[in-house]
Amino acid sequence: MAFFSWDTKYSVNVPDLDKEHKILLEMLNELHDAMKQGKGKENIERLVNNSASYAKSHLSHEERLMEQCGYPGFQEHKKQHEFFVQKVNEFKNDVNQNNYKLSSELLKFLKDWFVNHITMVDSKYSTSINNCKVK
Ligand SMILES: [Fe+2]
């Protein structure tokens, strides 16, 4: 069974953003499997670096849409992204500095953040973004 499976309750009703969320979820699964199978440092490092940069570009995409669409919760939402990016950077540094045997607690943190963020924070921008012509 996959570590993390997509569920329709995770949909934010913006197809492009759902697609990106699904890719992130797959990346997290890949990371989980690589760790479980005891894949080497290079492999884990590559997966962590790739997912961190994909996550950052996804968050910027969301921020761009929220800002362009005049979403009222933009600033608050952006703060949550900043917190997450900081966590991801710490995580990336740990891995790059040879502490590459990531703990299951850390993966759990990423998964929980992702689920909570999508269902409680991202879901609020759906109407603003879908009503907006900028897309
Ligand atoms: Fe978000």
Is 105 among the domain residues?
yes
Structural domain span for residue 25? 15-130
**Helices vs. strands in the chain: H and E counts, helices first:** 5, 0
What is the pLDDT, as a whole number, of residue 100? 61
Residue 10 lies inside a defined structural domain of this protein:
no
Domain annotation covers residue 3: no
Contact 54, 10 (CB under 8 A): no
Tell me, in angstroms, the distance from the centre of ligand 1 to residue 116's CA: 10
Residue 96 CA, ligand 1 centroid: distance in Å: 26
The reply to whether 91 falls in a domain is: yes
Q: How confident is the prediction along the chain (135 residues), in pLDDT tens digits per residue?
A: 688 999 999 999 999 999 999 999 999 999 899 888 888 888 888 998 899 999 999 999 999 999 999 999 999 999 999 999 998 888 888 887 766 666 677 788 889 999 999 999 999 999 999 999 765
Q: Please say whether the beta carbons of 61 and 20 come within 8 A.
A: yes
**78 Cα–ligand 1 center, Å:** 7
Distance of CA 44 to the CA centre of its chain: 17
Q: Is 122 a member of any domain?
A: yes
- Number of structural domains (the chain) is 1
| Residue 135 domain flag | no
Residue 100 lies in a domain: yes
CATH of the domain at 95: 1.20.120.50
Neighbours of 19 (CB within 10 A): 10
Distance from Cα 94 to the centre of ligand 1, integer Å: 24
Does residue 78 lie in a domain region?
yes
Helix (H) / strand (E) containing 58: helix 41-68
